[in-house]
A and B are shown apart, each in its own frame.
Chain A
Amino acid sequence: MITRRVQYEVAGRLAGPALFRLEAWQQRVKKMRKGPRKSAIFGPPLECVSKLKELMGTHYLQGRYADGAVPVAWVTSGFPVEILRPLGFHAVYPENHAALCSVQRVVPELSDAVEKEGYARDLCSYARTDIGSVVTGKTPVGRLPKPDVLLCCTNICQTVLYWYRALAAHFNVPLVLMDTPFVYGEAKPHHRQYVRDQLEELVDVAERVGGKRVDPEELEEVVRVARDGTRLWGECLAASRAKPAPWTGIDGFFHIAPIVTLRGTRQCNAYYRMLLDELNDRVAKGIGGIVNERHRLLWDNLPIWFDVRGLSTLMAERGFNFVVTTYTNAWAEAGSRIDPADPIGSAVVAYTDIILNQDLNKRLDTMRRLSRDYSVDGAVLHSDRSCKPYSIGQIDLKQRLAKELDMRVLVLEADHGDPRAYAKEQGEGRLTAFMEGFS
């Protein structure tokens, strides 16, 4: 236990940072030798990227030594992770890990493994990827620590419940559910109470697994840090209201990782402060995420992780930038509502009233607001084969947006994780035709 703990701390505090800093240094030397890489399409790469790699790389490296050293929880992306931080948990985000697998293009292989076990290909590719990684032991991050507990919140979808049940059976560990009723209009008081009761129970379970009690002051502090971090992330996104936007929506998809997985930690906030400074600096200097920003677009739904680069290049070549996405924005909204003065009560609201757990009118409101705030002249709604809750209603949303805001809207069929569910040639054809319509 003690050696394990030492390994865990060394990986997180010394080895990880040293390793990734060395890598960043090597990259810098290479760049100096070769001269700076200048793209005719994209603006200069963000300096922060090396820091992001260090932060996330260290997180995964440290994770390899987490089990046996500290309590480990696997959690869904919309879980109130704040309550775990004062108890010293290491939180693993299977969704983030699955996104990483998709970027590394290993999803088909992992998915094949679970399809052989009888899971349908219609299941969300995050679930297939994660279960595939668990049963094969394969992961691009070396190793994921075994969970002591699984914590699942249904505020994003119901798939997570069945997925986590499968994990519970595999690891033979307890699964704790936080069920958040879907919100039509405003949540009713008994809905709030129902969620509150579960959250309080959850604190109990987490304390038992963590072997200590939550110190209210510590929790208050974590909640403050999480709220500030979320606000910082929101400010980073808001930098793109400037013309040209200082970065691309696609950059945003990658820089979202800390607010999802490290929310409530000081490193997370330090990172976003750095990113925000850099973005503000670019705005002041008029540096754009793409060189020739002619049209500004909104992106709805998760990214197409395995082809984000190809897609953004196709768009950027013609002067199109996704300056805002409902997905990255969701992470700037929910957490900003948590309140250190009332950690539990505010978490009930913050984690229930999120975009995927609210009716279509709320989504339309958000999209309208974002479209205006970021002065977009078009939108691409990614109809994600994997993520049904995010994709349902998009035809209506398209019609309403097109009519009310007089903008061009395209529904693009693809998948966030599995390249086999995306017809690249056709998809790019649609996007090209969509862009031709602007001139």
Chain B
Amino acid sequence: MSACVAIGIDVGSTTCKLVAVDAAGEILERRVEPTHPRIEQQAERLIAELRAKVGGAPPVGATGYGRKRVPQATRSLTEITCHAKGAFRLARRGGVLVDMGGQDTKVVRIGDAGEVRDFSMNDKCAAGTGRFLEVILGRLQVPMIEVGALAARAERPIAVSSTCTVFAESEVISLVAQGEPVEGIVKGLHHSLATRVASLAGALPDGAEIFMSGGVALNAAMVAALEAALRRKVRVLSEPQLVGALGAALSLS
């Protein structure tokens, strides 16, 4: 195994992600855990575990909303910058990154040198985020893992017009009560979310590739809905949940 040169930690609102990378930026080790309220202790423990595994004491770069609570970090940068760095390393080119995490969704335009050209984010609201899906799917008792297959089976999407998490939840309950098929509702839900993300993305530059990162990228139904809304192919980055942590590790090189 090549030597680890840096550790990246991404303390998100839902999960805490860590990677250890070698000099070429390859991921050697990874950890993903639900974020604890006591971030300092959790980060300390996970960093110690990772260091024990890879040997030595590689420096730590931090990102995510809890980045300021990682005292071991020698550098801390926002998720925007780190996601761009991580995505550029994985895609090896510029493009438009859609990151759908637990608390927010961001669209980052990455230049040809890997720089952030512009970004937009959903504001102050869970609508359009992973949390929105989690709440509603929880209501429908659909496990995340089955979502893709379920939505693919739907004959047609049932329109869910509300993008507010609270309102959409009651809307979905009444759709179920009206006997609408769950597959159709699930598909409709993803459509409604994808439309929101598409409006966040605005006019996409011609020919720009679209990448996707964040935990929600593992959900095939969301990727399909996004492709439909953007009318573009969406490339899911490998290990999409770890892109931010990877960027944080790369920020040290």
Establish whether residues B124 and A430, one from each chain, have CB atoms under 8 Å apart when the complex forms: no
> B117 to chain A: which residues have CB within 8 Å?
437
Q: Which of B48-56, B77-85, B212-220, B225-233 interfaces with chain A?
A: B77-85
Residue among B78, B81, B124 making CB contact with A423, cutoff 8 Å? B124
Determine the residue in chain B with the shortest Cβ distance to A432.
B78
Size of B's binding interface in residues, CB under 8 A: 16
Establish whether residues B78 and A402, one from each chain, have CB atoms under 8 Å apart when the complex forms: no
Establish whether residues B124 and A429, one from each chain, have CB atoms under 8 Å apart when the complex forms: no
Establish whether residues A433 and B81, one from each chain, have CB atoms under 8 Å apart when the complex forms: yes
> A433 to chain B: which residues have CB within 8 Å?
78-81, 116, 119
Establish whether residues A413 and B78, one from each chain, have CB atoms under 8 Å apart when the complex forms: no
Establish whether residues A423 and B123, one from each chain, have CB atoms under 8 Å apart when the complex forms: yes
> A413 to chain B: which residues have CB within 8 Å?
123-124
> How far apart sit A174 and B78, CA to CA, in the bound complex (Å)?
54
> How far apart sit A437 and B80, CA to CA, in the bound complex (Å)?
9
Q: Which of A395, A411, A432 neighbours the largest number of chain B CB atoms within 10 Å of its CB?
A: A432
> B167 to chain A: which residues have CB within 8 Å?
none
Judge if B115 is at the interface, Cβ distance under 8 Å: yes
> How far apart sit A395 and B200, CA to CA, in the bound complex (Å)?
11
Establish whether residues A437 and B116, one from each chain, have CB atoms under 8 Å apart when the complex forms: yes
Which residues of B158-188 have CB atoms within 8 Å of chain A's CB atoms? none
Encode B120-163 as 1/0 by CB contact (under 8 A) with A. 11011000000000000000000000000000000000000000
Known contacts A402-B118, A433-B80, A436-B81: A425-B123 contact under CB 8 Å:
no
Judge if A193 is at the interface, Cβ distance under 8 Å: no
Which residues of A364-413 have CB atoms within 8 Å of chain B's CB atoms? 395, 402, 408-409, 411, 413
Judge if A26 is at the interface, Cβ distance under 8 Å: no
Establish whether residues A425 and B81, one from each chain, have CB atoms under 8 Å apart when the complex forms: no
Size of A's binding interface in residues, CB under 8 A: 15
Q: Which of A395, A425, A430 neighbours the largest number of chain B CB atoms within 10 Å of its CB?
A: A430
Establish whether residues A429 and B78, one from each chain, have CB atoms under 8 Å apart when the complex forms: yes
B24 to chain A, nearest CB (A): 24
Establish whether residues A437 and B81, one from each chain, have CB atoms under 8 Å apart when the complex forms: yes
Establish whether residues A436 and B124, one from each chain, have CB atoms under 8 Å apart when the complex forms: no
> B118 to chain A: which residues have CB within 8 Å?
402, 408-409
A14 to chain B, nearest CB (A): 50
> A409 to chain B: which residues have CB within 8 Å?
118
Judge if A104 is at the interface, Cβ distance under 8 Å: no
Determine the residue in chain A with the shortest Cβ distance to B115.
A437
Establish whether residues B116 and A426, one from each chain, have CB atoms under 8 Å apart when the complex forms: no
> How far apart sit A426 and B103, CA to CA, in the bound complex (Å)?
11
> How far apart sit A432 and B124, CA to CA, in the bound complex (Å)?
17
A314 to chain B, nearest CB (A): 12
Encode A259-297 as 1/0 by CB contact (under 8 A) with B. 000000000000000000000000000000000000000
Which residues of B16-45 have CB atoms within 8 Å of chain A's CB atoms? none
Query: Which 5 pairs, one residue from A and one from B, show the smallest C-beta to C-beta distance?
Result: A433-B80, A433-B78, A437-B116, A436-B81, A423-B124
Q: Which residues of chain B have a CB within 8 Å of any CB of chain A? A: 65, 77-81, 115-121, 123-124, 202
List 16 extra interface pairs beyond A423-B123, A426-B123, CB under 8 A.
A402-B118, A408-B118, A411-B120, A413-B124, A425-B65, A426-B121, A433-B78, A433-B116, A433-B119, A436-B78, A436-B80, A436-B81, A437-B80, A437-B81, A437-B116, A437-B117
Q: Which residues of chain A have a CB within 8 Å of any CB of chain B? A: 395, 402, 408-409, 411, 413, 423, 425-426, 429-430, 432-433, 436-437
16 contacts between A and B (CB under 8 A): A408-B118, A429-B78, A430-B121, A433-B79, A433-B80, A433-B81, A433-B116, A433-B119, A436-B78, A436-B80, A436-B81, A436-B116, A437-B80, A437-B81, A437-B115, A437-B117
